[in-house]
Structures are given as structure tokens and as C-alpha cells.
């Protein structure tokens, strides 16, 4: 952890700021809701890494999707993601967002979340323990440092594709497109 490295702060304040001030908005369903509170309370205390829960997407730059994603909640996830200011990072938590997990054959769950919004990293497991979140955070630090956590850029560039996927799952969306770029199937 290079939080106290002042030289780095002067060199790239944006990256350092992003790294050590990850304000997270959680999208918690199912068992995910059980795992998050220990992370932010006394037992594990995410705040010492600068990770704090915030109430609105406008204030956040880390999006944690924990638990399965149904068709109905997907709409809210997309909306929330689009309302977050850039730079923004997403982490899928648990197997459900990755591939449906134990709901792999349900008619009403979204199996591959990354078809709809870009994901920077996954935490596998069913359910992963809270420590896994810290692993994910440290990993995200590395990615930010290396400039690889650019999922939001991908979303902007391939917005047409994402939008098409979203509309395929949800039907016609009632809000206007966020970006005008990136049409086609690509």
C-alpha cells in the first residue's frame, strides 16, 4: 500500500485519489446483503482503506454488485451505473452475476452481467467471504495503477452494443441513450 507515498501523490493525484478513496455503492440482493455489513463495520472495517459506503451513485466511484441479478433489478443496475460519475469501477461479487450461479437455469435471472454493463473485476464464490472484498479492492488498486481499470471507457465506446443487449433483455428502455457513440454489433 503506497498511500503514504507523497511523491506518488504529487505525480499522479488522480490515480492515487481514485485508489484510496473508493466510495462504494452496493447493489445487494440475496446472500450478498449478508456479506457486506461485516465489511464496513467493526470486524473488518473497510474504512481504513478509504472504502466507505455511500448512498447515491452520484457520490460513488465503486459499484459492487453482490448477489443474483434478476431482469427487474438489471434495469436499476444499469440506471445506477449510468448515473455514476467517471472514473467508475465495477466489481461483481459472487458467482451469480458471473454466470447465474445456482440460478443458472432460472428463467428470470441474468446470467452474464457483463453483457449489460462492463465489469472491472469478479469475485468468485458462493458466497465469497468479506475478506475477498479486500482482495478485490487491492486488486483494483493494482489495476488502477496500471491503468487497466477502464471498463467505463469500454462502456462509452461500445455503448451501442451494450444498449442493444440491454434492450434485448429488458425491452425498450424508457430513458434516452447516455452516449451517442459506439453503434453496431462489434
Map residues 1-20 to x or -, x wherever contact with another protein holds by CB under 8 A: --x-----x---xx-xxx-x
Q: What does residue 91 show for φ and ψ, rounded to 5 degrees?
A: -130, 125
Map residues 55-94 to x or -, x wherever contact with another protein holds by CB under 8 A: xxxxx-x-----------x-xxx-xx--xxxxx-------
The three grid cell numbers given for residue 40, joined into one nine-digit string: 464496513
State the minimum distance, in angstroms, from the CB of residue 54 to another protein. Answer: 7
Measured distance CA(39)–CA(97) in Å, rounded: 20
* φ/ψ bin of 22: left (φ > 0), alpha (ψ from -120 to 50), beta (otherwise): beta
State the minimum distance, in angstroms, from the CB of residue 84 to another protein. Answer: 8
Measured distance CA(20)–CA(137) in Å, rounded: 10
Out of 2, 5, 47, 167, name the contact with another protein by CB under 8 A: 47
Measured distance CA(20)–CA(44) in Å, rounded: 17
Q: Is residue 134 part of the contact set for another protein (CB under 8 A)?
A: no
The stretch near another protein (CB under 8 A) out of 28-36, 38-46, 105-113, 153-161 is 38-46
How many Cα atoms within 13 Å fall on the side-chain side of residue 15?
Answer: 20
Q: Which is nearer to another protein, 25 or 127 (CB)?
A: 25
Q: Which is nearer to another protein, 55 or 184 (CB)?
A: 55
Kindly identify the residues of this chain, within the stretch 150-179, that bind another protein according to CB under 8 A: 173-176
Which spans in the chain are helix H? Answer: 6-11, 13-20, 32-40, 71-83, 95-99, 130-146, 151-157, 159-170
The residues of the shown chain that bind another protein, judged by CB under 8 A, are 3, 9, 13-14, 16-18, 20-21, 23, 27, 41-42, 45, 47-50, 52, 54-59, 61, 73, 75-77, 79-80, 83-87, 173-176
Amino acid at each position: 500500500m503506497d498511500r503514504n507515498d507523497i511523491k506518488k501523490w504529487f505525480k499522479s493525484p488522480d490515480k492515487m485519489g481514485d485508489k484510496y478513496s473508493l466510495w462504494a455503492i452496493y447493489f445487494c440482493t440475496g446472500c450478498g446483503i449478508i456479506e457486506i455489513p461485516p465489511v464496513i463495520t467493526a470486524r473488518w472495517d473497510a474504512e481504513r482503506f478509504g472504502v466507505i459506503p455511500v448512498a447515491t451513485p452520484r457520490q460513488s466511484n465503486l459499484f459492487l454488485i453482490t448477489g443474483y441479478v434478476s431482469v427487474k433489478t438489471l434495469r436499476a443496475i444499469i440506471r445506477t451505473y449510468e448515473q455514476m460519475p467517471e472514473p467508475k469501477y465495477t466489481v461483481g461479487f459472487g458467482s451469480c452475476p458471473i454466470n447465474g450461479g445456482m440460478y443458472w437455469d432460472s428463467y428470470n435471472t441474468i446470467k452474464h452481467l457483463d453483457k449489460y454493463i462492463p465489469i472491472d473485476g469478479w469475485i468468485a464464490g458462493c458466497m465469497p467471504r468479506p475478506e475477498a472484498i479486500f482482495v478485490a479492492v487491492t486488486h483494483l488498486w493494482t489495476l488502477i495503477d496500471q491503468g487497466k481499470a477502464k471498463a467505463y471507457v469500454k462502456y462509452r465506446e461500445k455503448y451501442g452494443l451494450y444498449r442493444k443487449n440491454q434492450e434485448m433483455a429488458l425491452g425498450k428502455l424508457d430513458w434516452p441513450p447516455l452516449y451517442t457513440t459506439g453503434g453496431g454489433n462489434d
